[in-house]
Chain A
Amino acid sequence: MADQDNTEAQKAAPQPETAKAAIMPPVKVTERYHVMPSSPLPELSTPSAKAYVAEDKRNTERKLFALVCPPFLGPRTGIMEVLKGANIRGVMSLVEYTTVFWPPMKQRTILVIYERPTGGRLLDHLGQINQHEMVRRVIEPLCHGLQEIATRGVSHRQIRPSNLYFLDGSLDRLVLGDCTTVPPGYDQPVLFETIERGAAPAAGRGSGDITDDMYALGVTILFTLIGGNPVPNLRTDDEILYAKMQEGSYTSLIGNEPVPQNMLEALRGLLSDDDHERWSLEQLDLWINGRRMTPLQKKSAPKAKRTIEYGGREHYNCRTLSLAVSRAPSQVEKLVKDETLETWLKRDLEDSDLATRASNAIHMAQSQSGDKDVMATRISIVLDPKLPIRYKDCGCMPDGFGTALAHSIMQKGNANTPVEIITRSLPRTWFDSQDTYNPVYVALEKNFDQLLKFVQERKIGYGVERCLYETNPTLACQSPLVVEEYILTIKELMPALERVSAKIDKQKKPIDRHIVAFIAARLNQNVDPHIKAVGDDREEIATLGMLSLLALVQWRTKAGNLLGLTSWVGAHIGPAIKAFHSKSIREEMEKEAPILIRKGNLADLFNLLDNAEQRIQDQSDFDEACEEFELAENEIKEIDGGNSSLQKNSTRIGQQAAAMTSIVIALLIITITFLGKLW
């Protein structure tokens, strides 16, 4: 399994290991630690994260190693913070973590530094631990470690023999390995996952809780007792799942293996398929301390009188049929035709309620679209509501939807199937089918309603990108502009854009769909008005929206003066300046903008361009100018068009003037003559 893990690590993590790695200088992690890209540690690598030698500059004797988080998955940074420096017995000590530029990947990512265990993996020592020492060497330290992290609100979700390490060669101190570099359960083989989470692809298993850890612990104990895989005959994931579903996990995994009598009770408790009955940490602790409890009775799923054939298998119960339907949706017509499924459920399984629910699901699917995939999903959910939502090639527990979406986008390059899950309201079907109340489901259902709204709104700041960041709080921003900068938090965005501004072609816009969605999801503030402005069809409004959004982030994150970014943004403010009608105002702004750009404050630049009073004045002056222009134009047209009438009028006026002049002259002459005669 270790070999398999290593191979997977090389496959999963795209880390181009070339001869160049040999000459790569150490990478500084904070001021204190160095990580050697040229010194990999395959024996400590996980399937997704490669391990490298790390050094403490203050204490060169200290043995450390670093795990490199794959940048395409959301690391559990919250848990890193909780475990950092915690020094818990039974848990590998997390010394430090930080985001740095990692030369082999040619991009930034998170390095997590741990105390280096020297005793090797538990996997390498299977069969070497005496069954009488099992509790002391394996169960007790792991139980303690799990108790400690559980009190800190952490579930491990990566418990398997290849991720448990002995701190030294005495094989006395077993610790839980890394659980922070990948999403919960991502690297877990199906064998170590419960039936429910195991039925989902690795990316959609969801965060889970301590009950999932207890199950994985049970399988790990079984591995240790038996000295290897208890079911080597089950080669594929589906074979494992069908076996667990038919016979129950305990029966199918233990089978005829010689398990010590004293361990049976614990294994039965830990491997229970009912998460309410599964042993808790307290029960395990009591058992370790010698208290013996009544062993759990084996409960298997209700069996039908006759089997039903589907997907090349005969099914006795709903669970396997549900899984088979989701695996082969193309054959679902067979179940629908002649009410085969309803009849089987009613007559052979003797569950009329379930038959009614199945019938309703079929009718719903037929009325919704009649699509085989939707029908298969609805039927499989009704047949076993505890299994994940499985639609086409995407499957996820509701709390694992985010990771499934991220995986689909990063690996397949599109999110069509996860988006269809939302738009076809399949999560609602899943929640409606649950027969027990769970407050977590209420919150999750609300989240899905919100995701539906995001998907339906396709403008920038919404859409799939928004869903991606809303459902993956620790996923790095995937914008092509800053993906190499590996931005996990909103605080890192502005410095990253500042760094990028130094090397990027300024013709490119400083924001894109990913960055806007990232800001909307990470900034704890309603930025909808800004986003609406960014998505406006009018270029000047979109420019102002971009500026206001970035200015807000700069101000909220106290990013300081950002000369490069402001200059980059400044190269795109043209439309906002052009929106002013007055040439003199534009010239004034073009003169002032470079001065503000040199200050590096986006808010100042925004305030210059979005002076509301000035804009209103400009608009009103422009309206007046338009009116004035129109009046002048009309008068000119009137004068030009009235030339012939002017000619006519002027002749008439001229004749009138001639008559008047004659009369006046005559009167003058008469008066003068008359007066002359009198004197």
Chain B
Amino acid sequence: MVKAPRVIKKGQPKGGGGTMVLGFLALFAAMILLLVSMASLVLVVFGLLPTIVAVLVDRSAQRFAFLSVFAMNFAGIFPHLLDLWMGSNSMSVAIDTLTDVFSLFTMYSSAALGWVLFAVTPPIVTTVMTFIAQRRISLLRGAQKKLLAEWGDDVSRPEPGAAESSEEIEPSAPAGEPSAPGQ
């Protein structure tokens, strides 16, 4: 099936629409959080600073870098967020958390781990895929070698009409007669 060529409009930044949607989503989440818990909002905003950086840095359509960083970053914030929700849910607890080096380290290092995963996985995948392709080639070459051994070089360059019906190759005269002498 022929895919329709993808038209990219000149001047339109890649993923511009996506950023907008993402911005609205973030704003909507922030509004909800503002209404429910101001402390949570502060914790999230400061905790997700690496994610905000990732959003700005990753201009690709799929935003895999953002997803990687965001997922890991949020995983780093969530335990503190949970402590806040399960505790007094006050601004002071949120500020204590944000001023605790260990907490900040947990949140930001998990975001860094997201970056690391994003940076390391593609080469590993490439290496694995190349290995699989080479392996396939060697299997196919082996099969070809076997065919050449059995059928000779002709198998690699079938002459025109080689695939015609076998009657074409069968000698008309001897085909009828051999049974005569042997009968």
A contacts, CB < 8 Å to B: 528-533, 536, 540-541, 544-545, 547-548, 551-552, 554-555, 579, 581-584, 602-604, 606-607, 610, 612, 615-616, 619-620, 622-623, 625-626, 628-629, 632-633, 635-636, 639-640, 643, 646-647, 649-659, 661-663, 665-667, 669-670, 673-674, 677
**9 A-B residue contacts at CB 8 Å?**
A552-B180, A583-B152, A602-B181, A615-B166, A635-B140, A646-B130, A654-B121, A661-B68, A666-B71
CB pair A646–B180 under 8 Å, yes or no, is no
CB distance from A281 to the nearest CB of B (A): 48
In B44-78, which residues have CB < 8 Å from any A CB? 60, 62, 64-65, 67-72, 74-75, 78
Complex Cα distance, B82 from A541, in Å, reads 89
Contact partner of A545 among B86, B114, B130, B173, CB < 8 A? B173
B contacts, CB < 8 Å to A: 60, 62, 64-65, 67-72, 74-75, 78-79, 82, 86, 114, 117-126, 129-130, 133, 136-137, 140-141, 143-144, 147-152, 154-156, 158, 162-163, 166, 169-178, 180-182
Complex Cα distance, B154 from A540, in Å, reads 16
CB pair B72–A635 under 8 Å, yes or no, is no
Contact partner of B123 among A581, A607, A654, CB < 8 A? A654
Tell whether A583 pairs with B171 under 8 Å between CB atoms, given A603-B181, A658-B68: no
Tell whether A583 pairs with B173 under 8 Å between CB atoms, given A552-B181, A661-B121, A663-B71: no
Q: Which residue of B lies closest to A653 (CB)?
A: B125
With a cutoff of 8 Å between Cβ atoms, the chain A residues found around residue B62 in the complex are 652, 655-656, 659
CB pair B174–A656 under 8 Å, yes or no, is no
CB pair A650–B122 under 8 Å, yes or no, is yes
With a cutoff of 8 Å between Cβ atoms, the chain A residues found around residue B140 in the complex are 632-633, 635-636
Complex Cα distance, B169 from A623, in Å, reads 13
Q: Which residue of A lies closest to B141 (CB)?
A: A636
Complex Cα distance, B144 from A625, in Å, reads 9
Contact partner of A530 among B64, B79, B129, B174, CB < 8 A? B174
A contact face: mostly helix, strand, loop, or mixed: helix
With a cutoff of 8 Å between Cβ atoms, the chain B residues found around residue A532 in the complex are 172-173
Tell whether A545 pairs with B174 under 8 Å between CB atoms, given A615-B166, A626-B158, A666-B71: yes
With a cutoff of 8 Å between Cβ atoms, the chain B residues found around residue A635 in the complex are 136, 140
Complex Cα distance, B174 from A457, in Å, reads 21
Other than the given A582-B150, A616-B170, A669-B78, 19 more pairs (CB < 8 A) read A529-B173, A530-B177, A545-B173, A582-B151, A583-B150, A603-B178, A612-B175, A615-B169, A628-B143, A628-B147, A636-B137, A649-B129, A650-B122, A654-B124, A655-B65, A658-B117, A662-B68, A669-B79, A670-B78
With a cutoff of 8 Å between Cβ atoms, the chain B residues found around residue A625 in the complex are 147, 150-151, 155
With a cutoff of 8 Å between Cβ atoms, the chain A residues found around residue B117 in the complex are 658, 661-662, 665
CB pair A632–B144 under 8 Å, yes or no, is yes
With a cutoff of 8 Å between Cβ atoms, the chain A residues found around residue B178 in the complex are 548, 551, 603, 606-607, 610
Q: Which residue of A lies closest to B119 (CB)?
A: A658
CB pair A584–B150 under 8 Å, yes or no, is yes
Complex Cα distance, B144 from A635, in Å, reads 12
CB distance from A515 to the nearest CB of B (A): 16
Complex Cα distance, B133 from A492, in Å, reads 69
Complex Cα distance, B176 from A619, in Å, reads 19
Complex Cα distance, B166 from A511, in Å, reads 28
Complex Cα distance, B166 from A263, in Å, reads 79
Q: Which residue of B lies closest to A647 (CB)?
A: B126
CB pair B122–A658 under 8 Å, yes or no, is yes
With a cutoff of 8 Å between Cβ atoms, the chain B residues found around residue A551 in the complex are 177-178, 181
Contact partner of A673 among B79, B162, B173, CB < 8 A? B79
Top-8 shortest CB links A-B: A654-B122, A603-B181, A529-B173, A533-B173, A654-B125, A666-B75, A650-B126, A658-B121
